[in-house]
Structure 1
């Protein structure tokens, strides 16, 4: 029985090898690798990566092709387009395949009619700002020096026009800075749209930072200047000087002078003769002073004819 089984196995192998030595025409698949893609074009996320072909070859070669797929480079230098459709004519595509096949293997048929349509789209690019979604809770007597800094403050998005037209900005992740009394920095991810499968973003994260300083206070007394006063009258305001509570760095406060401020009242705003009051406006303050609060919001006045 064992001898019979051995003879049967040998006979089967001899028949199998004999058949593999013959030539056949059969279907198989080639993997596609695209090269020389124009810089202005992008492949869609899901695009054709294989093609069915009919070839004529020896049995051993067909077995190898079905076990280990052959990679075919598709050169897109000759790509054509009509409107938004990009394609290679079969004559061009077929020639590229045949040039990469050994002499022992011949291409009989390509598995599509006359055109290889490509899932390509034109690349559009635009720049959009980044908006931070952070909250900053400062410790007592501390303040931000200028605004929060976002690095980068904008990103580039690239993709089909139909996708990127809907994007006007991107937001960062939410984050809370608590009881801050020193400079801070935090890397945060961007909340990028997940449904835009063919859009690419230059950045997926940003760094949010800020500079903090401890402030001090100083009261400056500034004279009131009345604007647009008629020539035939003089005016006296009560009070004629107003105190301003200034907040700034200690070093900046030391340099603050009365002449750095301009406190004005516009006589053109006087409308009620029964109420001789003018509102005050701080028209000028030093750059280093981040807060300047008037102790008086308005002044009373007396007019005198010249």
Structure 2
């Protein structure tokens, strides 16, 4: 009987303890809410982050600049400033002006940009200092083409026709003029593919390891589209024209036409005609020891990959 009585007493005590703990936690939670809901005035240090810096400018001391904000707001807002170092953005292009050999940000010019970064429940009382000075170095800026480094083997009957598109096709390099003046292009890393028979896209990193550490390239990679098409071979018979013949000279030549083979995409095959090509022989190249001229293809459409003349000699006779 005494054991049962003891057990009941322990249960009652345990329940009282649990009720006490619950009320204690609730009271503590209410106290915290009350404290966080109240407004406080305090000063906090903000790291300055410069935005919209012109490409040719390098700010040498931007990491050392801070602004001290004295603000009034509730405890909920203050909490986020205790968990991480806050930062404030300054628009370099629109809010910073040149002052002698330095560049200066002033509170009078930049206040609206600062104030817009805070919520309506934050009252900014003071900002110190009211002026920030930046030391700036001017670099040269140069735009150079990107050369995709491709090692692609196409399946038989497939190829590309001026259809390798690089985006962007050129990038800005920034640095001392003496270092970037001799840079004419930037290559991508190598892309290798075998038996390609359909269009594909790849993202390729630029090869930047060999560049001097003082050279900045903001674009690190480019997109390359390879528009692979089905190809076929066509043939045409083209007239030959002899140019630069003196007025008092008559030239008879044979053959007066030559055969040409060309390689193009199926899409363009039926669009190609004789009028797209010009074959000439230049009479200025003749000499008395030879009885033939060499035909040259001087005009061809961009819609063909390659072209080849079957005949390499045009025989001629001069009659005064």
Q: TM-score, normalised to structure 1's length?
A: 0.60
Structure 1 spans left out of the alignment, 5+ residues: 1-29, 52-66, 89-98, 102-115
- Report if the CA contact (8 A) 2:144-2:184 is conserved: yes
User: Per the alignment, in what secondary structure is the counterpart of residue 288 of structure 2?
Assistant: coil
RMSD over aligned Cα, in angstroms? Answer: 4.3
The reply to whether residue 33 of structure 1 matches residue 47 of structure 2 is yes
Alpha-carbon distance in 1 for matches of 2:292, 2:217: 61
Deviation digits for residues 263-302 of structure 1 (CA, Å, limit 9, x no counterpart): 21111211x2131111111123344333220111221112
Unpaired runs of 5+ residues, structure 2, are 1-43, 68-81, 106-125
Structure with more of its chain in helix, by fraction: 2
8 Å Cα contact 1:31/1:69 also seen in 2: no
Q: 2:278 aligns with which of 262, 275, 295?
A: 262
The Cα shift of 1:119 comes to 5.4
- Match for residue 172 of structure 2? 156
Cα separation, 1, equivalents of 2:185 and 2:194: 26
In structure 1, the partner of 2:196 is 180
- 2:155–2:195 CA contact under 8 A, matched in 1: yes
Which whole-Å CA distance do the structure 1 matches of 2:266 and 2:215 have between them? 53
Alignment partner for residue 317 of structure 2, among 290, 302, 306?
302
Query: Is the contact made by 1:172 and 1:188 (CA closer than 8 Å) also made in structure 2?
Result: yes
- Residues 81 and 162 of structure 1: CA distance in aligned 2, closer, same or farther (over 3 Å): farther
Say whether the 8 Å CA contact 1:163–1:199 is kept in structure 2: no
Between 1:120-129 and 1:142-151, the stretch displaced more is: 120-129
Are 1:169 and 2:210 an aligned pair? no
Question: What are the Cα deviations for residues 129-181 of structure 1, in whole angstroms up to 9, with x where unaligned?
Answer: 22222222222222211152110111234x56569745553322221122222
Instruction: Say if 1:118 and 1:32 are closer, same or farther in 2 by CA, change over 3 A.
Output: farther
Provide the rounded CA distance (Å) in 2 between the counterparts of 1:247 and 1:241. 20
Pairing partner for 1:137 from 145, 148, 153: 153
The question of whether the paired residues in 1 share the 8 Å contact of 2:279 and 2:299 is answered with yes
Q: How many residues align?
A: 237
* Cα distance in 2 for residues equivalent to 1:71 and 1:304: 93
The aligned counterpart of 2:213 is 196
**Alpha-carbon offset, residue 191 of structure 1:** 2.6
8 Å Cα contact 2:48-2:63 kept in structure 1: no
Q: Provide TM-score, normalisation by structure 2.
A: 0.57
Change (3 A) 1:31 1:170: farther
Instruction: Identify, as 1 or 2, the structure richer in strand.
Output: 1
Flag the 1:120–1:71 CA change in 2: closer, same or farther, 3 A.
farther
